[in-house]
Structure 1
């Protein structure tokens, strides 16, 4: 089993990629900073998650979240790329962020995709 097939907890996943964060708010803040255009291109590799937003090939902003910042991180291929509506993703993440019944508690987030063309799935 190669390093790209391992997650932080040492298990194996059959998903195309899978990542878990203990605090969804951290990801929300990063994505909000990139949200000047609707669509973003995401690249998942063994090194982490890179999110790129560009406007007519004139302006490009990107953020990189290293694999070691995730509590679990797995990617099946060398690199997986997909496009996502950043505004919709932020709306979904805000639901996770606001669903905690304990004041001050943070919501965890697990994101994964089972295969190419499948939807990005978010779970708490």
Structure 2
């Protein structure tokens, strides 16, 4: 038995294109290889659907569908940047895709810095 890929919660709306129509669905969780969505009408298993969100266009196969929840297998794995877009980058630090921002020795962008020259706080 293989380990399942790490999944990340999402609340993003996505457009599902199937059988000549487009409908909005909600992403419930997403991994590099698939996602679970809530789609009121449901989708037939093994259907191929198009997905659009932000500037992404994806293709997926419906693996399962129960009471409006559908499991989709993506045609191509998501890149870390695409995964960030679909999750709002709210992934845990334990994620293999989490990268720490480069730290500037003079200024840590996560903390405001007081500039005594003009009295404003920068951050």
Instruction: Give the TM-score taking structure 2 as reference length.
Output: 0.25
Q: Which has the larger radius of gyration?
A: 2
Q: When you count helix as a share of all residues, which structure comes out higher?
A: 1
Higher relative contact order (CA 8 A, sep 6+): 1
